[in-house]
Structure 1
Amino acid sequence: MLVLKILFVIATTFSVAFAEYGCGEVNVVYIGLPGRHKYVKEQGADPILTEKQIADNIREMREAGYNVRGNVEGVDWHAAGVGFGIRGSNISELTGLFEENLAIYREEAPDAKFVFNYSPISFLWSVQRYFPLSSDCKDHPGKDLGFITLCDEACS
């Protein structure tokens, strides 16, 4: 048992994956701000470009063979991430939102590995570090498991 714990710590520290998955076998949920959200604008990002980057990154993950969703309920998740617009912000309200997202993941996706991107366009990288796929999935893309945009008056 101690050996397994040590191996797990090493794997987590050095981004080592023990098993490779096939195309369409890894379920990924990513929660973030829509490009048109007021906090995205306050951080100086272009809303139209941000919306395009989010859509492109989700498509890129599916084309790479990952199943992707923007809503945490109803699926057994391998990876759960919070977008850079929430984590990389200096806006204090977003720190609370980040903490709320982690609490939701703990409740709804307790077995999921938390993954974090280093920029607004590095979603795929954040998942591939822990869940490399065993083959090129060009002809076997992942599934779109559904995407929900929740935004109130903060979006225009």
Structure 2
Amino acid sequence: MASFTNLVSLMAAIPTMTSFRAPSVTNVASAALRECGEVNVFYTGFPPCHELVAAQGWDPVRVAAGLRNETVNLANAGYNVHAVFAGIEVPINLLEKRMHENGVKFDVTAIGYGMRGANLQPIVERFEDLVEMYERNAPEARKVFNYNPESLLWSVEHRVPLKEDCAAVGKPGKLIGYEEVGKDSSCLMGLDNPAGKVHKDEL
């Protein structure tokens, strides 16, 4: 058995750690920030009047106001936005067509909470289809998600911030397109449309 003295000798022979100084790292994140009007965003999810919106307990008027106002807020914040809100009955290839019709390469793709947070099988399947659609058509884009109709800007801004406060300096992005594709808009009769969007009542 090794004596206490021998153990002390062995421990003394172990080289001690020299002080380690971490190398300086350049802040890559800040260097990669984009300018106002340089980030293209494609957003989809349920249109406000879709029956599956109310079925999940959402107020269609609140959803409409949130989606439309937040689309405007995104553009004012310096992002270029193409929003196409469509129900699960709308063919995926229509959304793919919208993604390509203006020749825009999207840097950010998003799916609304009404589809992502659902517990109904057809909606979950649609969510999966949308994820795959984005993988096919914009594989390098950053994927983001909101948590209610009033958080579209947050969903993009906290993941892909811009170099400056574009709204404050008067450098907005642009509204590439806005559609609510559905069969019924009667739930929104008389509601103002702040986004100045094109409404599709019929498929």
Give your verdict on TM over 0.5. yes
Percentage of identical aligned residues: 38
Pairing 1:61–2:74 present:
yes
Counterpart in the other structure of 1:142: 173
**Aligned pair in 2 of structure 1 residues 122, 18: CA closer, same or farther (>3 Å)?**
farther
Mind listing any 5+ residue stretches in structure 1 that lack a counterpart?
1-10
- Counterparts of 1:18 and 1:83 in 2: how far apart (Å)? 30
| TM-score relative to the length of structure 2 | 0.64
Counterpart in the other structure of 1:33: 46
- Counterparts of 2:63 and 2:81 in 1: how far apart (Å)? 18
Q: Which letter does structure 1 place at the counterpart of 2:135?
A: R
- Counterparts of 2:61 and 2:81 in 1: how far apart (Å)? 21
- Counterparts of 2:149 and 2:64 in 1: how far apart (Å)? 11
Structure 1 residue 121 displacement after superposition: 1.8
SS in 2 for 1:110: coil
Q: Which letter does structure 2 place at the counterpart of 1:94?
A: I
| TM-score relative to the length of structure 1 | 0.82
Q: Deviations over 1:31-61 (max 9, x none)?
A: 1101100010101111122111100110111
Counterpart in the other structure of 2:36: 23
Contact 1:28/1:67 (<8 A) preserved: yes
Contact 1:80/1:112 (<8 A) preserved: yes
Pairing 1:151–2:182 present:
yes
Q: Deviations over 1:12-44 (max 9, x none)?
A: xxxx67611111110001111011000101011
Contact 2:36/2:79 (<8 A) preserved: yes
Greater share of strand: 2
Deviates more, 1:143-152 or 1:43-52: 143-152
Structure 1 residue 130 displacement after superposition: 2.3
Pairing 1:107–2:136 present:
yes
Q: Which letter does structure 1 place at the counterpart of 2:123?
A: L
**Aligned pair in 2 of structure 1 residues 136, 45: CA closer, same or farther (>3 Å)?**
same
- Counterparts of 1:86 and 1:49 in 2: how far apart (Å)? 16
The number of equivalent residue pairs is 141
Counterpart in the other structure of 2:146: 117
Q: Which letter does structure 2 place at the counterpart of 1:128?
A: E
Contact 1:86/1:95 (<8 A) preserved: yes
- Counterparts of 1:116 and 1:17 in 2: how far apart (Å)? 22
Structure 1 residue 113 displacement after superposition: 1.0
Cα RMSD (Å) of the superposition?
1.9
Q: Which letter does structure 1 place at the counterpart of 2:133?
A: I
SS in 1 for 2:180: coil
Contact 2:49/2:182 (<8 A) preserved: no
Contact 1:30/1:83 (<8 A) preserved: yes
